[in-house]
A and B are shown apart, each in its own frame.
Chain A
């Protein structure tokens, strides 16, 4: 057993911290907020430092590291509320395609992501509530070419992405298809979210696409995407919780009411202690799932990812509200940095489907003995 970060991981952590501290200043974040919460310059810096390709193979310009090391960077993205699509581009959209990297189109998309020349995303939802997995989009085949048509919704980084994969059906057979977002058949529309981050709806009208897989393997890709999303969300959420708690601890040490520091009231101190405990539970769940997804994988990754998702939703909800609460009015003021963490917290909590559905999935896994 060893819970410490390797020397390399510590270096990566320092590197990420340094870049993010330079770029995630209040004025830049405010500016990003008015621009879909995306900072293109920061994204380029991360690419140049090699952090976007951290978990990608060397053949596409990556550093071939495991999820544990990627999680170190993701946590820092959370701790700095970085205006970049970390969860979707670095995990949900890219890692499930690794088994297919020999395909030229996949290779090209991952190389573009790693170099910063492009952004890879995935369109998993269609409009309305029943978007996930049950794709209605259709594919027509003409010779070796495939053409996609349909409506996709809530595509992460959908406005900035260069490459996107999605689920569509050819006749009754589902498949995963990769396309270029610059194709003339793609119409994107901005979908603003609570944190200021923009998603996109995409209308696909005979968009030229490449088939990655079809049939049985589709479910595997989708399941991998869900697992990577949960793992990456837990890492980012750990950083968000650290950020919120640092602000709250500082505030409650400085601010006085009734002649004493707020943090000297037992009721306040205990709430922050509870936040600390929630945050540590989340951190261990995050470490557990990334370790299992890394080399030394043992046990059920699905189970560990759902446990991580449970703690992500639990800690984000409880820590964000409590940290706002002990700040009083200051905590909700948009001139004070806390609210950005809170809005991202809410965003991630609900992006994971919310805690009730996570628990239902975990319970189902236990009943079916997929989870120990």
Chain B
């Protein structure tokens, strides 16, 4: 057994880390990301950085060779996204890593090359339009309709939680093309809807922690070339990338960030010496450290299993449950050390507000990316061979 990254993998990680620090996370960009309405991207500096990321080859790096990429393996792919997120860069994981390659594989030739080059060059963002007000966990019940009209499709419906749609160029949309609701997931088709289409609109949703949107489709007419994959063949395109997505939600760097920053603060300032010497503070740090080490290994192991050709389904589900619940627990363990300073906002905030924001963002991970109950059912059935329950 060798549980370490190879020398090449380690060098790769270093390279990404340095690139992120020196090229991407400039003071100008950090200042832009501190503004709530563009904190996920979409500001002028964001687009500048995205184009640079594209020009420097980082987006194509993890794409398969046959689709115009560099063919990075799952471990490198994981390291890349992990380091980017750890640096605080709003890496377009879903748009560029999950959806992009699926689009490139199944899109029709009329639009494929143009959109693929936009994605790889950091010029386009694809927001995901799956969830609807009445279809969340039960995605297969979605109702947004796409009807054939000559060479076109006419789309009507509403999506909710369409994150980043406020600055996306396209919506990667799941719509019902077979009106028979009993067909459920067998009646769904994927479309790429340009956000400048007539009849499309988007309003902001302010959540406790992050910004997202509702998108509306009123007689949105798009040519058939914007259909991706077979008619009624959308489901495998939706579920194909889920395991990788789950892992990217709770990647080690993303979760460990709060621990790293808190420890940095405590070690970097003599005022906190007394705290560091306090037994319960040490225990909080120790629990966080021990639990994070497990997350790190689980993430790497899952990526390794996928690299070896496994599906990684059970591992991804287990890691997602563990990582999302750890995210919440860490928010408590670290905030306790600086409580009640951890409640302060704006200019008084500790760690530039990271500690205060952490609580507000915490719960999204336990139901997003497939609710933890559903992940636990996967672990129980596929991992332990238990009979499938309701």
**Which residues of A are at the interface with B, using a C-beta cutoff of 8 A?**
125, 128-130, 154, 191-195, 199, 201, 256-259, 265-268, 317, 321, 324-325, 328-329, 331-335, 339, 342-343, 346-347, 349-357, 359-360
Task: Given A192-B348, A350-B335, verify A332-B340 contact (CB < 8 Å).
Answer: no
Q: Does B205 touch A at the CB level, under 8 Å?
A: yes
Cβ–Cβ contact B339 & A354, under 8 A:
yes
Task: Assess A350 versus B280: contact at CB under 8 Å? Given A321-B362, A329-B131, A334-B207.
Answer: no
Which residues from chain B contact A324 at a C-beta distance below 8 Å?
208, 363
The 7 A-B residue pairs with the shortest CB-CB distance, nearest first, are: A354-B336, A350-B339, A354-B339, A324-B363, A257-B138, A332-B207, A267-B373
- Asked if A333 meets B207 with Cβ closer than 8 Å, knowing A130-B274, A357-B336, the reply is yes
B233 touches A (CB below 8 Å): no
Q: A130-B274, A257-B136 are in contact. Are A267 and B346 (CB under 8 A)?
A: no
- How far apart sit A154 and B342, CA to CA, in the bound complex (Å)? 12
CA–CA, A347 and B205, complex, Å? 23
Interface assignment of B283: CB less than 8 Å from any CB of chain A:
yes
CB <8 Å contact, B343 and A351: yes
Interchain CA distance A328-B274 in the complex, whole Å: 41
Q: Is the CB of A191 within 8 A of B208?
A: no
User: Would you call B34 an interface residue if the criterion is a C-beta within 8 Å of the partner chain's C-beta atoms?
Assistant: no
**Contact segment of B62-70, B219-227, B364-372:** B364-372
Q: Are B360 and A328 in contact (CB under 8 A)?
A: no
CB distance from B17 to the nearest CB of A (A): 30
- A56 CB to nearest chain B CB (Å): 26
Q: How many Å from the CB of B129 to the closest CB on chain A?
A: 14
Can you report 7 residue pairs joining A to B where beta carbons are below 8 Å apart?
A193-B345, A265-B373, A328-B371, A332-B363, A334-B205, A354-B337, A356-B337
Query: What is the bound-complex CA distance between A210 and B137, given in angstroms?
Result: 62
Interface check B271, CB cutoff 8 A: yes
Verify if B202 is at the interface (C-beta below 8 Å from A): no
Which of B337, B338, B341, B372 gathers most chain A CB within 10 Å? B341
> Chain A residues with Cβ under 8 A from B134's Cβ?
256
> What residues of chain B lie closer than 8 Å to A256, measured between beta carbons?
134
For A317, what are the chain B residues with a Cβ–Cβ distance below 8 Å?
Answer: 332
Once A129-B275, A350-B343, A356-B280 are accepted as A-B contacts, the answer to whether A329 and B362 lie under 8 Å apart by CB is: no
Give the chain A neighbours of B278 by CB distance below 8 A: 360
Is the beta-carbon distance between A192 and B364 smaller than 8 angstroms? no
B271 pairs with A129, CB closer than 8 A: yes
Within 8 Å CB of B366, what residues of A?
Answer: 321, 325
A328 touches B137 (CB 8 A): yes
Residue ID in chain B nearest A363 by CB atoms:
B280
B207 and A356 contact, CB distance less than 8 A: no
CB neighbours (8 Å) of B371 from chain A are 325, 328
Q: Nearest residue in B to A153 (C-beta to C-beta)?
A: B348
Q: How far is the CB of B389 from chain A (nearest CB, A)?
A: 8
Size bin of chain B's contact surface: 35 or more
Given contacts A329-B160, A332-B209, A360-B279, whether A194 and B332 have CB atoms under 8 Å apart is no
Interfacial chain A residues near B345, Cβ < 8 Å: 192-194
Q: Please, which residues of chain B bring their CB within 8 A of the CB of A346?
A: 343, 359
Residues of B within 8 A of A (CB): 131, 134-138, 141, 160-161, 205-209, 271-272, 274-275, 278-281, 283-284, 328, 332-333, 335-346, 348, 356, 359-360, 362-364, 366-367, 371-373, 376, 389-390
Q: Is the CB of A194 within 8 A of B363?
A: no
New A-B pairs, 8, CB < 8 Å, besides A193-B344, A194-B343: A192-B344, A195-B343, A257-B137, A258-B138, A333-B206, A351-B339, A353-B339, A356-B337
Q: Could you say which residues of chain B place their CB within 8 Å of the CB of A129?
A: 271-272, 275, 338, 341
Question: Whose C-beta in chain A lies nearest to the C-beta of B374?
Answer: A267
Give the residue of B284, B332, B364, B376 whose beta carbon is less than 8 angstroms from that of A332.
Answer: B364
Our pick among A128, A352, A357 for the contact of B280 (Cβ within 8 Å) is: A357
A192 near B346 with CB under 8 A, answer yes
The docked-state distance in angstroms from the alpha carbon of A111 to that of B333 is 41
B residues within 8 A CB of A192?
344-346, 348
What is the CB-to-nearest-CB distance from A252 to chain B, in angstroms, rounded to a whole number? 12
Q: Which residue of B lies closest to A353 (CB)?
A: B339
* A355:B206 contact, CB within 8 angstroms: no
A130 to B137, CA, bound (A): 46
Taken together as a complex, chains A and B put the C-alpha atoms of A194 and B349 apart, in Å, by 10
Closest to A257 in B: B138
Q: Taking the nearest CB of chain A, how far is it from the CB of B258, in angstroms?
A: 14
Contact A334 B208 (CB under 8 A): yes
A268 CA / B389 CA spacing, docked (Å): 14
> Contacts of B136 on A, CB cut-off 8 Å?
257, 328-329
Q: Are B328 and A328 in contact (CB under 8 A)?
A: no
CA distance A154 to B366 in the complex (A): 32
Cβ of B343 and Cβ of A359 under 8 Å apart?
Answer: no
Tell me which of A154, A201, A321, A328 contacts B340 (CB under 8 A). Answer: A154
* List of B residues within 8 angstroms of A265 by Cβ: 373, 390
**Minimum CB–CB distance for B290 against chain A, Å:** 15
Q: A334-B208, A354-B332 are in contact. Are A329 and B161 (CB under 8 A)?
A: yes
Q: How many angstroms from the CA of A342 to the CA of B335 in the assembled complex?
A: 15
Chain A residues within an 8 Å CB radius of B337:
354, 356
- Complex CA–CA separation, A357 to B123 (angstroms): 50
B203 CB to nearest A CB, Å: 11
Tell me the nearest residue of chain A to B274, going by C-beta.
A130
Query: Which B residues touch A334, using CB under 8 A?
Result: 205-208
Measured in the bound complex, the distance between the Cα atoms of B209 and A317 in whole Å is: 17
CB of B351, distance to nearest CB on chain A (Å)? 13
CB distance from B313 to the nearest CB of A (A): 19
Closest residue of chain A to B325, judged by CB? A321
Report A-chain residues with C-beta under 8 Å of the C-beta of B341. Answer: 129
Contact status B280-A360, CB under 8 Å: yes
In angstroms, how far is the closest chain B Cβ from the Cβ of A270? 10
The answer to whether B339 and A357 touch across the interface, beta carbons within 8 angstroms, is yes
Note all chain B residues with C-beta closer than 8 A to A154: 340, 344
